[in-house]
Amino acid sequence: MTASIVGWAHSPFGKLEDETLEGLITKVAADAIEHAGIGPDDVDEIVLGHFNAGFSPQDFTASLVLQADDRLRFKPATRVENACATGSAAVRQGLRAIEAKAARVVLVVGAEQMTKTPGPEIGKNLLKASYLPEDGDTPAGFAGVFGKIASAYFQRYGDQSDALAMIAAKNHKNGVDNPYAQMRKDFGFEFCRTESDKNPFVAGPLKRTDCSLVSDGAAAIVLAETQTALSMRRAVAFRANEHVQDFLPMSKRDILAFEGCSEGWSRALSRARLKIDDLSFVETHDCFTIAELIEYEAMGLAKPGEGARIALEGQTAKDGRLPVNPSGGLKAKGHPIGATGVSMHALTAMQLTGEAGGIQVPDASIGGIFNMGGAAVANYVSILERIK
């Protein structure tokens, strides 16, 4: 446990028409520093997660964090990117700076502003996280990529529409009590299961309720090396943090196995000396409901092809065997690309310190996080435990 989360901040996620990317970044940066009980002078390094890919005309954004406070001037600041796992890439960069003893305190910010981009351009920007020679002409953009994955899964294991609807309904129900969530409405299983004018098919067997939202938002965490963290207000330690990168072309792997996700979980649980059932809850990357279903199998909750049973039996409900996405996940919370991984770490820290409000999992002691970029290409797993 070389580093801990000692403070955080989180903006609302959604269509934030009155916000700018700079405003989102500076607000959470300043609030996270204050929440940690430190001053800007105490920050040794800054890492910004910002995917962009055309969403913002301002493509050089690392120094925007310095706008939060003049005292951040001359601090090293770097922007990192790894598709939809950009936020977790920023977290890992901060952890590595601390592990290398190059920094004692690191401010990590994740942000994205997506909704001011016209619809067709949004799809084009997101598709840049796929392998363009194979998937560049996919109808419906990245939803089309996961629509192909869902169709292939259905062909191999049978129609899983009930399970996907159960996952969507679960996450929407959880999101009702998340004050940061973009969509706080309990749609129920029947609405999510049934095609309608309000819930049409988007790509393959995926309906609108199977797809995460286009969002604006930001989140920030403050990392500190463990001895420093123990002298602060709170400390949520990393028992493990693993990064596994896989091939970009889906043709080079069994896309239904999410092998990078599986390898990431295996390494993280081994490093933490834990089993999956030792976790109190998991925040996982449900960019599409089919992703969460396959992730059940990759994390070891079910054998290949049996993830549907986990969903249909309620094992991942908030009161189930292992609550998954008590925050509402990307499905209800929203998915501002660069902010997502940082948000997952902030919300997990809130759970472990008992500060999660209406989404609190009772007696949460150890939390797991899985954030991925592309179709299980960039895979990040963290396991967190409160030590103060």
Residue spans of the domains in the chain: they are 3-117+214-229
Contacts of 157 (CB under 8 A, 6+ apart): 305, 308
Paired with 58 in beta bridges are none
Q: What is the pLDDT of residue 140?
A: 86
Q: What is the pLDDT of residue 141?
A: 87
CB 325 within 8 A of CB 331: yes
**Both tokens of residue 293?**
């279903």
pLDDT, tens digit (0-9, with 9 covering 90-100), for 275-292:
999 999 999 999 999 999
Q: Is 330 helix (H, G, I), strand (E, B) or coil?
A: helix
For residues 344 and 135, what is the distance between their CA atoms, to the nearest angstrom?
28
Q: Given the structure tokens 């960069």, which residue do they identify?
A: 93
pLDDT, tens digit (0-9, with 9 covering 90-100), for 199-243:
999 999 999 999 999 999 999 999 999 999 999 999 999 999 999
Neighbours of 158 (CB within 10 A): 10
Residue range 3-117+214-229 in CATH 3.40.47.10: yes
**Both tokens of residue 215?**
């969002």
Q: What is the torsional sign of CA 314, 318, 319, 320?
A: positive
Low-confidence ranges of the chain (pLDDT < 70): none
End-to-end CA distance of the chain: 13
Q: What is the pLDDT of residue 1?
A: 77
Report how far apart, in Å, the C-alpha atoms of 214 and of each of 22, 309, 318 are: 18, 29, 25
For residues 336 and 13, what is the distance between their CA atoms, to the nearest angstrom?
7
For residues 321 and 1, what is the distance between their CA atoms, to the nearest angstrom?
27
